[in-house]
Amino acid sequence: QSFDKIPIVDVGPLLDDSGASGVAKDIRWAFENVGFMYVKNHSVPAQLVDDTFAQARAFFDQPLEEKLKLHMANSGVALRGYVEIFGENTDPTNTKDLKECFDIGPERPTLERPFFGPNQWPSALPGFRETVFGYHQAMKDLATKLLRGVALSLDLSRDFFDSRVTDPITYQRLLRYPTQSGRVEENVIGIGAHVDYG
């Protein structure tokens, strides 16, 4: 097939084991030819997705002083919490990032090492912690299952990565990009040009 859009891979047959080899073939094509894929039939409940978006909106609608109480600087190398608008710039020589963020990850009682420590949670938003962390767990479970499809796509055993990824860095970011209208200057945009890593 030719590449003119990001492929959509139906991962349902991988998750229910009714056609894992076909899904693995689609994953391999997507990653070899595009580097990205969308997934459908991923089994994450739509209600959980909707509730997570609602909780994210409620968080970002709080007054700035409330959000700043949970600033990422409080978490050290665990990198958990709130980042204000212009608090990060992915392309600092050219742009300012017009976004605000709230990050969580694996829950730990104390700071252990980079990316592993306690999450910061807003006290004034009922259900926020349960919903947002529930979504984090659902996505971690899905990622584990997708990694089994990646293993099959590489002609490896389905469980090849299981013993190699036992305590992964799982990082979830809630984002809000404020609306921009009129003429938008290139030096103030939602997020500047960047590459991801990991």
Mind giving me the DSSP string for 120-163?
A: P--SSSTTHHHHHHHHHHHHHHHHHHHHHHHHHHTTS-TTTTTT
Q: Confidence class of residue 147 from pLDDT cuts 50, 70 and 90?
A: very high
pLDDT at position 94 is 82
Domain 46-189 sits in CATH 3.40.190.10: no
pLDDT at position 198 is 57
Name which of 57, 53, 100 is nearest 81 in CA terms: 100
Ranges 68-82, 156-170, 183-197: which has the least confidence: 183-197
pLDDT at position 178 is 93
pLDDT at position 66 is 97
Is 102 or 4 the better-scoring residue by pLDDT?
Answer: 102
| Residue 1: pLDDT over 80 | no
pLDDT at position 190 is 86
pLDDT at position 170 is 93
Is 109 or 191 the better-scoring residue by pLDDT?
Answer: 109
pLDDT at position 184 is 85
pLDDT at position 5 is 87
Q: Confidence class of residue 89 from pLDDT cuts 50, 70 and 90?
A: confident
Q: Residues of the chain with pLDDT > 70: what percent?
A: 98
Is 175 or 189 the better-scoring residue by pLDDT?
Answer: 175
Domain segments of the chain as ranges? 1-43, 46-189
Position of tokens 């997934």?
39
Q: Confidence class of residue 197 from pLDDT cuts 50, 70 and 90?
A: low
Q: Confidence class of residue 10 from pLDDT cuts 50, 70 and 90?
A: very high
Q: What angle do CA 23, 27, 32 make, to 5 degrees?
A: 150
